[in-house]
Amino acid sequence: MTRRRVAITGLGVVAPCGIGVDAYWQGLLSTVVEGERRVPDFDPVPYFDNPKEARRTDRFAQFALAAAAMALEHAGELEANPARTGVLLGTGVGGLLTLEEQILVYYNKDPRRVSPFLVPMMMANAGAAAISMRYGFKGPCETTVTACAAGTHAIGNAARAIMDGRCDVVLAGGTEASMTPVALQGFNNMTATSRSGISRPFDRERDGFMMAEAGAVLVLEDLEHARARGAAVLAEVLGSASTADAYHITAPSPGGGGAVACMELALQDAGLRPEDIRHINAHGTSTPLNDAAEAQALAKVFGLPGPIVTSTKGVTGHALGAAGAIEAMAVVLSMAHRLVPPTANTTAVDPELPAIDLVVGEARPWEPGPSLSNSFGFGGHNGTLVIGPAPEC
């Protein structure tokens, strides 16, 4: 069977730098961002039938429902067979906020006061399940939990479901709201987070990531299905790949070997060569080891200086399981606006790193072409998406 092409026809996002596509894009153009990366002024109630329903949904699933509603509105009149419409989301930890709150209730108040909604609120698949139930989508409804690569893997798997003919439409992305006191302290104690409170990817002063929360959903659609309904095609998923470092629970493999294999497999899946790639949204967490391994991997695959590179985590922070989704969306918006956002807060690129073509200072104009979005997670999970501009015909 001929492999079907996958169009991106809708975007929805809840992020620290903006809620909604336009606000998110403007936020990505920031050059200096400091402090916590929580989503400000988020009101979940408009996305639910009533306030009680919203209270019985963990924040990470609230983000998912809000992003899905925005993405479906953005996609226009979407008439699709419910049995051939899926929901694939990624998350790192699911409803950690609810779990932490209810543990305190158990120990500090009365075990009988633990919420009967604890389990459905904390389970990692709650976001995907909520979307499928809200809209009646009866195709595959799955949750990918591969740490910081989860959003990227979910989108890649969703595209595969369309390419292989299982689905006509899939809502795909990632969601995360795990900035709880215990989680934050755990990351601090393992020295993964920035002591200075600044995410500065690839900078010589980088000292860790800034943890974030976010949710993003993309509407993926069989290209012919999208054309038949007159949809505006925003971009195309050309390919993807997933590999494992098989090395360490938190550190990347030295030299970025797993990342190299992942990018090469993604290029092969897309039928492209390294010289075809024009832009890379790097994982770029601002940790010393990750940025070094990724820069080395980019140099091995693409040579130097290679394609235009940016890390949007300088603005967004690191949203764990949602990171790959908001970054794939950044690639699509970069194509629409013909601008690559700068790597915020990065002023002096580490001279010890390979000299990749990192965008710093201000956004850079470009001629959109095939691009990568990279995600590399704890546990050695690697994910790469290949995204191309909307086809001309």
Count CB atoms within 10 A of the CB of residue 267. 23
pLDDT digits (tens, 9 = 90+) for 156-214: 999 999 999 999 999 999 999 999 999 999 999 999 999 999 999 999 999 999 999 99
Active-site position among 74, 153, 279, 283 = 283
Identify the burial level of 381 via C-beta atoms within 10 angstroms of its C-beta, where 0-12 means exposed, 13-18 middle and 19 or more buried. Answer: buried
The CATH topology of domain 6-389 is: Peroxisomal Thiolase; Chain A, domain 1 (3.40.47)
Amino acid letter for position 64: A
Side-chain half-sphere exposure of 65, counting CA atoms within 13 A: 26
Tokens 């497999």 sit at which residue?
Answer: 265
Buried/exposed code over 100-139 (b: 16+ C-beta within 10 A; e: otherwise): ebbeeeeeeeeeeeeeeebebbbbbbbbbbbbbebbebeb
Q: Which of 17, 141, 148, 262 is catalytic?
A: 148
Is the Cβ–Cβ distance between 286 and 201 less than 8 Å? yes
In order along its 393 residues, the chain shows pLDDT tens digits of 689 999 999 999 999 999 999 999 999 998 888 888 999 999 999 999 999 999 999 999 999 999 999 999 999 999 899 999 999 999 999 999 999 999 999 999 999 999 999 999 999 999 999 999 999 999 999 999 999 999 999 999 999 999 999 999 999 999 999 999 999 999 999 999 999 999 999 999 999 999 999 999 999 999 999 999 999 999 999 999 999 999 999 889 888 999 999 999 999 999 999 999 999 999 999 999 999 999 999 999 999 999 999 999 999 999 999 999 999 999 999 999 999 999 999 999 999 999 999 999 999 999 999 999 999 999 999 999 999 999 986
Smallest Cα–Cα separation from 322: which of 218, 246, 222, 240? 218
310 phi, psi to nearest 5 deg: -140, 155
Q: Is the pTM of this model over 0.85?
A: yes
> Is 17 an active-site residue?
no
| Class of residue 362 by CB neighbours under 10 A (exposed 0-12, middle 13-18, buried 19+) | exposed
Tokens of 375: 């995600």
Three-state secondary structure call for residue 388: strand
Cβ count near 51 (within 10 Å): 10
Residue 130 is encoded by which pair of tokens? 């909520």
Known catalytic residue at 148: yes
pLDDT digits (tens, 9 = 90+) for 262-317: 999 999 999 999 999 999 999 999 999 999 999 999 999 999 999 999 999 999 99
Could you say which of 74, 225, 279, 318 is catalytic?
A: 318
Q: Whose structure tokens read 């795909």?
A: 172
3-state secondary structure (DSSP) of residue 9: strand
pLDDT for 117 equals 96
Give the separation between CA 143 and CA 153, rounded to whole angstroms: 10
CA distance 258 to 245: 5
Local structure of 380: helix, strand or coil: coil
Give dist(CA 36, CA 181) in Å, integer. Answer: 13
Told to judge if 318 belongs to the known catalytic residues of this protein, a careful annotator would answer yes
Contact 381, 147 (CB under 8 A): yes
Residue 387's closest CA among 172, 176, 213? 172
Q: How far apart are the first and last CA of the chain?
A: 22
